[in-house]
Chain A
Amino acid sequence: MDSASSPFIESPNYPPDEFYIQEPSRQEDELNVLKNRVEYYKYQLSQSKSEQSLLLEEFELEKGELHKKLREIGEQNDSLSSDQRFVLDQKSALEEANRILRVRVEEVEKMSQTKAKELQLTIAEMSKEVSILSNTLDDVTSQNQEKAQNSNRLLESKTAEIEKLREELRHQETLTQRANNRADELNQQLNSRVNPYKDDSDSAAALRLLQSEYSIQQEHVHYLEREVLDNERKISALKGKRDYIDVLKEEKAALQRQIEALRTTEERKNQVERENAKLQSKIDSWFGIIGQDDPTQLFEQLKMLKIEKELDLEIINRLKGELSSAQETNISLSGDKLKLSQKISSLQSSITEKEIESTVSERKLTLARQEIEYLKERIESMKSEQHLWTKRRKTESAPENSDATIAELNLQLKSRESKINALNSFNEELKRMLDQQSSKVDTEQKIPDEDFTSKNKELIQEVQARSREIQRLEEAKQKLARENLDIRSQLSLSAAKYQELVEKKGLRILQLEDNPTSQHERISKQMLEALTLENNELLGKSVTSETVPKSVYDRLLLEQENIKRREFEASKRLQRLREVYSRKTGEFNQIIYKLLGYKLEFLSDTKLKLISKFFPNFHQVDGISEDDYIIIDLANLKSPTTSAISESNVKVGGLPAKVVSNLLGFWVQEKNDISCFLSALNLQLFEEQENK
């Protein structure tokens, strides 16, 4: 092979011109060399074939990997789209939740406003009640003090009287003692005097004198004893009055408890006032800071602004969340993009390698072609040489063997040419496939960028769709407005026709311009207009704009007015309910009095005072006597009836105590029935009155 002449050999030795006129053995050698070369080329061709098959396998592998990657990218795309859908769903759900929250916030705001109003009302009512109660407390305290002073004075006077009577009694006892002593002395004197003069007649007169003196002394003693008895009676009466003082003391204790309750109420009022003062100071401080005229309005405005601020903050937080999620998605997408770009670069490098390899193979192919051309030329030359040889051999001998060899060589050459053509076509196909692959890679390289912006595009599309929807709605609204106008015009026409008809008939239908329905319609219309304006301004407002449209405040002011009106109506209704309640309770008391004959007075929560209309002093101008009433302990009403009403609870001056105690004993203690006792008492009092 080293000696073989070839353009692929560094320095080919072309045969000299004498070659063609060489010996046939040398020519045979040359042919052998050429055969060897053909063999070598065959080997090289087979090598290139095997290399091509290897390349094909590698290409297939690469292709499979690329398909796999494509699938993965498709899956990633799917997952991204599903994520986007999920994000959109979440966004819609969040918007819904936001709307619900807004509604709730509005409700809570309304509730808080109503509660605030209720509290203010309650505070006002409580302050009124407290003032009334404090006045009552003062009155009751002064009355109690007066009563207590009176009772103390009475007690003191009675005690002094008792003491005086006791002293008098003691004095009378000493006098009696003295008188007894004197009587004894006189008896002794009489005896001493009578004994010496027993038989004397003068002594009889003295005896009579002494007896009369003795009788006088005895009468005096009897008089003194009567006085003692009178004093004892007086003392017992005073004891009875002491019982009355005990009742008064009980009343005083009950009143003191009421006073305590009033004090606690007053303390509570003071506490509320202190809180109110604190709030007022706060309001004043705000008022001082901002310098508004109406602090309550300012406070409400601030409250509304706070709520709006909170809502705005919520929206901002939500948007921030969305932004952060979008950023995260962006980061993950950019990571994916980076990975994909890396893959693409690696693929590109592999493609370039393949391209290099293909160029090498192409070069090899061109070289092989050139060699083939060269070999063809050689074959042609050999043919010509052979032709010359045949010419020679025609002349010399017939060269059948060499012709056969040449034919065989020709056949081989043709087959080789066909193989080369097939290889060329295969190479073309390979090139085409490579181009396709590179185009695919280019498209794949483009995909991530598109994917990266697809969300924005979708959002833009959504915005566009929304704007289209808004446009459509706007058109529909305009259409409806036109229809409305048409209907109104028709209505006005029909109203005019109707009016004409009415005028023809001579009838007019009239209504007051300011009527309840028109008032309500006016309010509704105002609110509707305010809401429409607010809606338009909010739709026109950009997302980034931080200012709140004026129409929102206008609408809120209208709502506030409505709420105030409703509140006023509610307070009026409450007032009416109170009036109805007090009227009905009064009526109830009146009915009870008329039906059962007893007037009810609540002394405390647990004590009820019953005054019968048959009490002797009931119709007097000065009122009921202190003795004419029945106290019922309501706390013990459920327990044994006897503890609810006892003899000490019944003070009926007009009836003998024995009668009352008998009635009590029978009806309350024995039969355990207060109602029967009350009826029996009324009957007894009635009979007493009739008898009088």
Chain B
Amino acid sequence: MDSTRNSPNVVELRGSSRIVSDFFGKLQDPMGPFWIQSITDFFSEYSIHSILYQRGIYPAEDFQVRKKYGLNMMVSINEEVNAYVKKIMSQLQKWIKSGGLSKLVIVISSKDSGKVVERWQFDVKIAEKQETSHDQEEPRPKLKEEVQREIQTVIRQITAAVTFLPQLDNGDHSFNVLVYTDGESVVPNEWIDSDPKDVEGDNVENVNFRNFSTDKHKVGALVSYSLT
């Protein structure tokens, strides 16, 4: 990825305050460029916390409303969960930066039987660079607001998915986060290999959600669940 460090790509954010940030120049920023931040925000504050809240993995009082990017998000205040998510996200940012991340999966399993009951899969694909001729203009970089609007759409779909997903009893399930990386990615010691933890059974349903994309990545969502 060092070759991309001097890329001329520029994100132009139009609005009352004009923000221009270099994709890769901003990599030195601890927060990272906005697209990395958007994806990690999506995974942490939008998807993981929302799923944990919507699916009743933790009690409702463990969550607080936080308004972010025009949405009222339920964010956990459970220290253990937050520490776990934070640990994942800090590593995830590195893998997103290095382009090693291909999937993030939230697995919900029964505490009693250990059976996987739901599997929320988020595919992260690196957007293919469009070939442009000399006379053509460079495609306009995506605005932050556009990305956020797309994220809002996906998150609304995730929230609405509660209506058709099977009822999960409160407190009887736990969750785990799986990350698909390429073989060349650097893996810290605290990360171990895992099986894919698929939902098993005859009546497994898969529901696809809408995608959202940044200039660099395209993120799709899919939920698998068993109709028992």
Contacts and interface: CB of A to CB of B under 8 A. Distances in A.
Contacts of B192: 510-513
A508 B196 contact: no
B8 interface: no
B110 to A, nearest CB: 10
A503 B190 contact: no
Given A509-B179, A511-B193, 7 more contacts: A508-B185, A509-B194, A509-B195, A510-B180, A512-B84, A515-B84, A577-B61
Determine the main DSSP class of B at the interface with A. Answer: mixed
Contact of B176 (A495, A515, A580): A515
A512 B87 contact: yes
Interface SS of chain A: helix, strand, loop or mixed?
A: helix
B114 interface: yes
Contacts of A515: 84, 176-177
Interface stretch (A2-10, A301-309, A363-371, A516-524): A516-524
B201 interface: no
Interface in A291-306: none
Q: Which 4 A-B pairs have the closest CB atoms?
A: A511-B194, A517-B176, A506-B183, A576-B61
B191 interface: yes
A524 B172 CA distance: 13
Interface string A512-541: 111111111100100000000000000000
Contacts of B185: 508
A508 B183 contact: yes
Nearest to A579: B61
Interface of B: 59, 61-62, 77, 80-81, 84, 87-88, 102, 107, 109, 111, 114, 174-185, 187, 190-196
B174 A507 contact: no
A524 B59 CA distance: 21
Contact of B62 (A503, A509, A518, A576): A576
Contacts of A499: 193
A513 B107 contact: no
- Give the residue among B107, B176, B181, B185 with the most A Cβ atoms within 10 A: B176
B195 to A, nearest CB: 6
A510 B176 contact: no
21 contacts: A498-B196, A499-B193, A502-B183, A507-B180, A508-B181, A508-B182, A509-B180, A509-B196, A510-B191, A510-B193, A511-B191, A511-B192, A511-B193, A512-B191, A514-B190, A516-B80, A516-B84, A518-B176, A519-B174, A524-B111, A576-B77
A505 to B, nearest CB: 8
A583 to B, nearest CB: 9
Interface of A: 495, 498-499, 502-503, 506-521, 524, 573, 576-577, 580
B132 to A, nearest CB: 29
Highest count of chain B CB atoms <10 Å: which of A502, A510, A513 = A510
Contacts of B178: 509-511
Nearest to A494: B195
Contacts of B187: 508, 510
A517 B174 contact: yes
Contacts of A518: 176
Contact of A573 (B62, B81, B102, B111): B62
Contacts of A516: 80-81, 84, 174-176
A576 B80 CA distance: 15
Contacts of A577: 61
A521 B193 contact: no
Contacts of B183: 502-503, 506-508
Name the residue in A502, A508, A521 with the highest tally of chain B Cβ atoms < 10 Å from its Cβ: A508
Nearest to B171: A569
Nearest to B191: A510
B193 A508 contact: yes
A437 B109 CA distance: 78
A510 B114 contact: no
Nearest to A575: B61
Contacts of A507: 102, 180-183
A524 B109 CA distance: 14
B191 A513 contact: yes
Contacts of B194: 509-511
